[in-house]
Amino acid sequence: MADPTLTLLLNEVRGKTLRLLEPVSEEQARMPAPGMNNSILWHAGHSLVVVEHLGIAPLNDGKMNYPAGYFETFSWKSNPATVTTWPTLAEMKAQLVDQRERLLALLEKTDAATFDRVIDAKGRTLRYSVLHGLHDEAGHQGEIWLIRKLLAK
């Protein structure tokens, strides 16, 4: 039985990310706001990579499924100033929608005992890992919103 709270959180968080991206143009998506290093597109891609690592992989025998080069472009180790090839905003939105469906399917087939399994030396559970990935995405929504506001000025 799926954890209904994680399912609800996934739908709420990812739904809001997609709504925040809806009015953004391709040009706006790629442009960091003055004084900032990361663009709206980077924040969206970072959310995708983090949720893949913390949500999908632990539920899917460590398997991840995002396009080649996404980790180098969007991870916590990336340097957006050095990136020369970016996906389009439409491609990113499609990846975010696809990932939501994949994670939802994994959540639906995972039982409570599996969610309660400790997966690291700090005693954190699989449930915590999924929650942490979605929480990280929610934080990046604030960055997307801020950049949208700064670019509108």
pLDDT digit string, tens, across residues 117-130: 999 999 999 999 99
CA distance 132 to 55: 8
pLDDT above 70: residue 41: yes
Whole-number pLDDT of residue 27: 95
pLDDT above 80: residue 73: yes
Whole-number pLDDT of residue 1: 64
Q: List Cβ neighbours of 115 (8 Å cut-off, separation of 6 or more).
A: 3, 6, 125, 126, 127, 130
The CATH number of the domain holding residue 104 is 1.20.120.450
CA distance 150 to 153: 6
Number of domains in the chain: 1
Q: What is the mean pLDDT of residues 109-124?
A: 94
pLDDT digit string, tens, across residues 1-34: 678 999 999 999 999 999 999 999 999 999 987 8
Whole-number pLDDT of residue 141: 97
pLDDT digit string, tens, across residues 56-66: 999 999 999 99
The pTM for the full model equals 0.94
Q: What is the mean pLDDT of residues 97-110?
A: 97
Name the more confident of 52 and 152. Answer: 52
CA distance 124 to 11: 23
Positive/negative CA dihedral, 89, 94, 97, 99: negative
Range of 132's domain?
4-152
